[in-house]
Structure 1
Amino acid sequence: MRYILLLTTIIIFWGCKNPKKLILEAEINGFHNNETIRLYSDSTYILKRKYEFDSINNKILEGKYRLVDDKLFCFGDFDFNGTIKNNFIESNKEFMKYEIINSQISLKPKIDFKKFPTYTAFTFNKIKGAYHFEENSIPYDLTENDLLKIDSILPHCLNKTKYFEGMKHANNYSKQCIATLNEKGEVQVWVNCACSGIAKNLFKYYTSNTNDGGHCYFKLKVNLNTLECFDVFVNGY
């Protein structure tokens, strides 16, 4: 009896001494849906999916994860592998990412997107989709200086079309960027833009293609070395 009491005391003491701690929390906060993933100190995760108008599809997914440097691998109900970058967890299989809202681990972002609230960036990968870059293009990680350069180029590019004459800046557009390095060592960036009021929430989580909407939606590519723009496409025109 004493042995059982002693063992129970040890288990309770050990459990209190080593509680499961939240080490990272990230989310997709969409218009009518929310996904939250939480990583715990015992290598378990919980992913909650909540739909505002479709509660029958609400789910709680659980399993184990492995975190190696900036690489995250989830096993169990949620099969996922991604990379922690710029305060997001970005999928390695598609253009989708979760925004980190709470972390007990050290994060060293190259870009502080709070300084650039109208921008988001996704990593180029031919598995995800090439977006018509040059054949031998490789991924390039944008910097804050690159975003400033894009800001300065966009008005000049758009003023070349009749739909944006007189535009001095593109601050009222949300902008998605995918950057590559071509064989010449030049940085080429696909920039997808939408009126901020429409796209502000979802644009930072998923790449988006819209078939209409006029000049509220446009996309183009810019070369950050030559400061040229090309493949300018305005929806509906």
Structure 2
Amino acid sequence: MKIRIIIPLLLFGLFIQCKNQIIEKTKIEQILAINNYDYRGSEKFELYSDNTYIFTSIKKIIGPEKVEKFKGIYFLKNDTIYFDQSLHAYNKSKKAVIKNNFIEFVGGIFPLKIEIKKNRLQTKNKLDLRKYNDYAFFTFDSNFYAIYYNYEPNTIKPYDLNQKELIEVNQILKKCFSENNSKLKNLSKYVKQCTAIINDKKEKEVWIKCYCKDFYIENEYKYSLIDMSDGGNCNISLKINLTKHSYSDLSTGGLG
């Protein structure tokens, strides 16, 4: 009698084990994105083939680490990821866009983009940044950028550069630094943060901020815009007008 009971239990246990192994094998990591903020912590986003995701935030502050983990369901359409409600507790983003090797979260209460380290999806980047690895690109958002740039509300729109335009931006930037070499360092000494827009005259414009490379900036300049009020020639800003093929509004250390 005992043998009759034990055998079905063993078979049931083997069935559960095999089922779990099948689930694990079919749950493939599609995207792994990580931002490392050195001593301040990290953010990690994992996207799986079974339409689940895990978002992990680690904040290193005084005292023990604060670890927050959010799990949920997503729906993918082309290069856009739509989330269920579970990520709302972090920054309230309802969707994210896969763009130029980053996950850009849209509509959140603060800007958030996370660098992709692994990607099994057939998504294509608009920009090839292998020759421009000290450039970072940010999508214009009127909710957050007022502190960085002066503009009239509702007069400009976000724009995505193509590769040809990126090459021209780099060429004009080289020209700017060459013509102003008495007060600027060599262009290669800076990281470049770029925001492309359509201005109130319907012209393509790129707002650029350049900062001297150092340990902290070089690691984090790709994640968020830097706010610096001084810095001399380690804090450069200018505008490049791709419609007019020119640059303007060059300033150093926050001064014109």
Identify the TM-score tier after normalising by the shorter chain: 0.7 to 0.9
Report the TM-score, using the length of structure 1 for normalisation: 0.85
Question: Which stretch shows the higher mean deviation, 187-196 or 124-133?
Answer: 124-133
Cα distance between partner residues in 1 of 2:97 and 2:186: 32
Corresponding residue number in structure 1 for 2:117: 101
Q: Distance in 1 between matches of 2:254 and 2:199?
A: 30
Alignment pair present for 1:88 and 2:102:
yes
What is the CA distance between 1:229 and its match in structure 2? 1.9
1:187-237, CA deviations, whole angstroms, 9 ceiling, x for partnerless residues? Answer: 101101101225211110001110111110111111012122223221154
In angstroms, what is the RMSD of aligned CA positions? 2.7
Task: Answer yes or no: is 1:147 the counterpart of 2:166.
Answer: yes
User: Which residue, out of 23, 28, 50, partners 1:21?
Assistant: 28
Alpha-carbon shift at residue 142 of structure 1 (Å): 1.1
Structure 1 window deviating more from structure 2 (109-118 vs 64-73): it is: 64-73
Aligned length: 235
Task: Give the 3 Å change call, closer, same or farther, for CA 61–166 of structure 1 in structure 2.
Answer: closer
Aligned to 2:188: 171
Show CA shifts across 1:160-185 (max 9, x none): 65xx3386962221011111123544
Write the mapping of 1:11-160 to structure 2, written as runs, cut at 5 A.
Answer: 11-19=16-24, 20-32=27-39, 33-51=41-59, 54=62, 56-69=64-77, 70-72=79-81, 73=83, 75-76=85-86, 78=90, 79-80=92-93, 81-92=95-106, 93=108, 94-130=110-146, 131-133=149-151, 135-158=154-177
Same amino acid, percent of matched pairs: 30
Could you give the per-residue CA deviations for residues 47-78 of structure 1, whole angstroms, max 9, x where no partner exists?
A: 33345564623304121031322223264254
TM-score norm. by structure 2 comes to 0.79
CA displacement at 1:22 relative to structure 2 = 1.8
Higher relative helix content: 2
Q: Measure, in 1, the Cα distance between the counterparts of 2:220 and 2:185.
A: 25
Cα distance in 2 for partners of 1:98, 1:120 equals 12
- The structure number with the bigger radius of gyration is 2
- Whether 1:180 aligns to 2:187 is no
Runs of 5+ consecutive residues of structure 1 not aligned to the other structure? none
